[in-house]
Amino acid sequence: MNLEELKAIREKAQKDIQLRQKEGRIKIIVGMGTSGIASGARGVLKAFVEEIAARNLVDVMVTQTGEKGLASQEPLIEVVEEGKPTVIYGNMNPEKAKRVVAEHIVSGNPVLDYVIETT
């Protein structure tokens, strides 16, 4: 494998103007402060990144923050979507992350079992 092979991906994606316009519709922010990492946030971040990539969701941005919130409920993640309340999920793990992608990100139904706050 060679990085030059990325050219083919670029050319293919550039043809898809519609997809590019949707970029960043939803943002998933994973809390990666020290205590977040210690409680497993890296596996959660990985699950989101892999799941979004596997489903080819070009309009979802997965990002991380070093800031932290309620240490007792880490790993914490935030789902930020324009025009909708921000949803904060706590005590996440990779399986829960996959469920959030399927139900909240893809189907638009927040997973109430894991929600700790909406703002």
Partner 1 sequence: MLAELSDHVMDIAMNSVRAGARNISIAIIAQRDKGTLSVSIGDDGIGMDEETLRKVSDPFYSTKAGKTVGLGVSLLKGAAEICEGEFQMRSVPGQGTEVEAVFPIDHPDVPPLGNVKDTFLLLCVTNPEVRFSFRFSADGKDFEMDTKQVNDILGGLSISHPEVVTFLSNYLEEHL
Ligand X SMILES: Nc1ncnc2c1ncn2[C@@H]1O[C@H](COP(=O)(O)OP(=O)(O)OP(=O)(O)O)[C@@H](O)[C@H]1O
- Contacts (CB under 6 A) with ligand X, residues 52-71: 68
User: In terms of CB distance, is 69 or 110 closer to ligand X?
Assistant: 69
- Interaction between residue 33 and ligand X (CB under 6 A): yes
- Interaction between residue 34 and ligand X (CB under 6 A): yes
64: partner contacted, choices partner 1, ligand X, none (Cβ within 5-8 A by kind)? partner 1
113: partner contacted, choices ligand X, partner 1, none (Cβ within 5-8 A by kind)? none
CA distance linking residue 82 with residue 10, whole number of Å: 27
